[in-house]
Amino acid sequence: MRILSLVLISLCMMLAAAGATAREKQAKKPMDPQAMMELYTKLATPGEPHKLFATLAGSWTVKSREWMEPGKPPAESTGSAEMKMLLDGRFLYQEFNGSMMGKPFSGIGIDGYDNLRKKYITAWMDNMGTGIFLMEGTASADGKTITLRGKHEEPGGGYMTHRAVWKIVDSNHQTFDMYGAHHGGKEMKMLELTYTRKE
């Protein structure tokens, strides 16, 4: 009986391995060039997320609140943002000017939606660093609440993780809330931005 069990187990393992090998060969089979071109064309075409981004193009007033320590009141300031679409409606570009921690602050952001990966992606760079901060995530069913996650290295080692919630209320109002956690610690709210379109 034990020998029969071993034979059956060996047979099952061989069938599973053969199935995996067949799947690998099928996956490696080259795609027809015409079909590949049609697929790439479809993936490169702006869709509903990009159309929603396009409604945000224009000039904005931005009220910001930033928390440096838990339990302490936030620092408040006002800035401005200019937004426009890039590359034939594929990416939303933002140029922000304001203040942070009492100092002049300027930054550039590029937001996109990757049709292939079905992910929202944002890249941010500013005058308070030399790195490019990347986040990615997904949206609610209506596409108007986008949750992004990312992390960056901290001086002295380790990472700070981030979670951002971007709400597109309508074409004239949007909010962006950022939360962070040092070295896997407790998450705290760090930043709250309220955008109102300039008249």
pLDDT at 191: 93
pLDDT at 24: 55
pLDDT at 11: 40
Instruction: For the chain, 199 residues long, give each residue's pLDDT as a single digit of tens.
Output: 444 343 334 444 444 555 555 555 555 778 788 888 888 788 899 999 999 999 999 999 999 999 987 778 998 999 999 999 999 999 999 999 998 878 899 999 999 999 999 999 999 999 999 999 999 999 999 999 999 999 988 888 888 899 999 999 999 999 999 999 987 788 999 999 999 999 8
Mapped onto helix, strand or coil, the DSSP state of residue 35 is: helix
What is the rounded CA–CA span in Å between residue 33 and residue 199?
A: 50
What is the rounded CA–CA span in Å between residue 91 and residue 85?
A: 6
pTM of the model: 0.80
The closest of 126, 125, 143, 122 to 134, measured between CA atoms, is: 122
DSSP assignment of 43-75: HTS--HHHHHHHTT-EEEEEEEEE-SSTTSPPE
Strand pairing class (103-114; 133-139): unpaired
